[in-house]
Amino acid sequence: MIRLLFDVTRLGNVWTDYLPRGKRGIFRVIEELVKHLGPDSEVSLTLTSLAGKGLCGASYFYTRRLSAARRIPFAFPSSKLPAYASALILKMGRPFHDIYKRFTRKSWGTSSSIMEIPPSFFTPYDILHLPSFIGPSIPPLPIPMVITVHDLIPLFLPSGEDPLFRRFLIRKLGELRPRDWIHCISEATKKDLLTYAPHLDPDHVFVVPNGVSPRFFRETDTSVIEKTLRCYGLEVDTPYIVSLSTLQERKNLLTALRAFAATKKEIPELRYVLIGYTRREEREKILTVLNELGIASHVIITGFLPDDRVRALYSAAKAFVFPSLYEGFGLPPLEAMACGLPSICSNTSSLPEVVGDAGILLDPYDIHGFSEAICRIVTDSELQQWLSQKGLERSASFTWRHTTDKLVEMYKYILEHA
C-alpha cells in the first residue's frame, strides 16, 4: 500500500472564486485524479495544500463538497482554525481576492521555499505528489516528491502571456534538480521540458496522459438536445460547428473564424457556436472581428457552460474546430470525440498524440485547409459518421482509470529507485 500525500491547492483556488470560471484545464485534471486515486486499492490517499493557510483551508472546504473525496483524509501543515478563518476571508469578496492575488504574486517572486512546514509533517507518507508545477518552492524533503508539468506555454508563446509569470516559470525550472521526479502529461511536454531544463535526468521524467471524464458521452436524449439548442436560438435541423476555447492568443481563434467566414459562402445556413469563459474586453474584441468578417449574426457566443450543456451541444454539432498553437495535452478535442463529434485540430504540440488518426490535423495557420475540412464534414455524412466512430474509439483509450493505474506504476518505480 502506497501512502500518497497529494496536493490539491488548485481546488482551493476555485472554492474561493480566485480563478474566475476556473473549472477547466488543470483543475479538471486534479479533481479527476482525486476521484480515481481515492478508491485505488494500492494507494492510501491523503490530501493536503502546501500553499499557505488560506488556500489550505479553501482546499479542505472544496474537497468536502466532493462526494468522492469526503472520506479521504486531509492533512493540515499547520493549525486548522487559522486555515479555516483565512479561507473564509478569501471567500468574502473580490477586494480580498485582489489583495490575495497581489500577495501571492509577490511571495512567488521572493520566497524560496515553504520552510515553515517541518519535515515531520511528511514522514508518515511514502511519496508527495504536486499535481501542479506552479506553486511555492519545496525544500529537500524526507520522502520522494513527484511534480506534474502540464505545459510550458509562456516560454514557447511569450506573446500574450504575463511577463512576470514567464520569469517566475523560468525560475521554477531552474529550481528543479536532476534527482527530482517529474510527471508530464504528454510526450510533447516532456520534450519541451528537457529542452528548457537540460540538466534534468530524462530517466526521471515520466509521461502519463490525462483521461476524459465519464461526463462526456454521446447524448441520445433528443429532448435534452432540443432544449439546449433552443437556449441558443438553434433548431434541430440547423447545421453548426463548435469550439470550446478561451480567447487567449495561443488558441488562434482567428484562424477558425476566418475559415468559418469562407465556409459560410458555400453553406449559408451554417452557424458557429463558441463555448468558453470570456472577459468583457475580450468579448468586445471578438465582436469587432465578427463584424469585420460579416459573420456576427451567424456566431453564437455562449460563455462558460456546465458539462451537461457542452455535451448536448457537442452531440448535435457537425464538427469541433480547434486551431490552437500550443497545448500541453488537449482535453477539449478529446471530450468532443467522446461525444462522437468529428474534430479538426492543429498538428502542433501534443494534439497529434491525443487526436491520432481519429480527426483531421492541419497547420494552425491554414485557413483554407480548415475551411475545406469543415465543408467536407458538414456536407459528407459518410465522412462525418466515419470520423465520429473513430473519435469514439480513440477517446475510449483515454480513461482516468488508465491514468491512475499508470500513476501508481510510476509511484512504485520511484519508491524502488529513490
Where are the domains positioned within the chain?
2-211+400-417, 222-395
Residues 6 or more apart whose Cβ sits within 8 Å of residue 45: 4, 6, 34, 37, 38, 72, 73
pLDDT in tens, 242-291: 999 888 888 999 999 999 999 999 999 999 999 987 777 777 888 899 99
Q: What is the pLDDT of residue 105?
A: 46
Confidence class for position 44, pLDDT limits 50, 70, 90 = very high
Name the burial class of residue 123, with classes exposed (0-12), middle (13-18) and buried (19+) by CB atoms within 10 angstroms of its CB. Answer: exposed
One DSSP character per residue, 152-184 reads -HHHH--TTS-HHHHHHHHHHHHH--TT-EEEE
CA atoms within 13 A on the CB side of 216: 27
Model confidence band, residue 58 (pLDDT cutoffs 50, 70, 90): confident
Q: Give the Å distances, CA to CA, from 341 to 41, 320, 336, 383, 389.
A: 35, 6, 5, 12, 9
pLDDT at 346: 97
Same CATH topology for 2-211+400-417 and 222-395: the answer is yes
| Strand 271-275 with 299-303, pairing | parallel
CA distances from 189 to 184, 197, 201, 206, 349 (A): 6, 12, 15, 10, 8
Maximum CA extent, the chain: 67
How many other CB atoms are there within 10 angstroms of residue 1's CB atom? 9
Return the SS3 of 126. Answer: coil
Those residues whose C-beta lies under 8 Å from the C-beta of residue 65, and which sit 6 or more positions away, are: 15
Element (H, E) at 54: helix 53-65
Average pLDDT over residues 17-34: 74
Distance of CA 101 to the CA centre of its chain: 21
Q: pTM, whole model, 2 decimals? A: 0.89
pLDDT tens-digit series, residues 182-207: 999 999 999 999 999 999 999 999 99
With CA atoms as reference, report the closest residue to 330 among 211, 247, 410.
Answer: 211
Long-range contacts, 16-25 (Cβ 8 Å, 24+): 16/54, 16/55, 16/58, 16/87, 16/90, 16/91, 16/97, 16/100, 17/91, 17/97, 18/90, 18/97, 18/100, 18/101, 20/277, 21/277, 21/304, 24/277, 25/150, 25/331
d(CA 294, CA 289): 9
Which percentage of the chain shows pLDDT scores above 70? 87
Which pLDDT score, from 0 to 100, does residue 163 have? 80
pLDDT at residue number 88: 62
| Mean pLDDT, rounded, for 304-320 | 96
Mean pLDDT of 101-108: 46
Distance between CA atoms of residues 9 and 25, nearest Å: 14
Domain 2-211+400-417, architecture per CATH: 3-Layer(aba) Sandwich (3.40)
What digits encode the pLDDT tens for the residues 131-180?
Answer: 988 776 777 889 999 999 999 988 887 666 678 888 888 888 888 889 89
Identify the CATH homologous superfamily for domain 222-395.
Answer: Glycogen Phosphorylase B; (3.40.50.2000)
Q: What is the reported pLDDT for 57?
A: 79
48 pLDDT tier (thresholds 50, 70, 90): very high
Overall average pLDDT of the 74-94 stretch: 67
C-alpha dist (Å) from residue 44 to 21, 85, 124: 31, 29, 11
Residue 348, sorted as left (phi over 0), alpha (psi -120 to 50) or beta, turns out to be beta
* Helical (H) or strand (E) element with 339: none
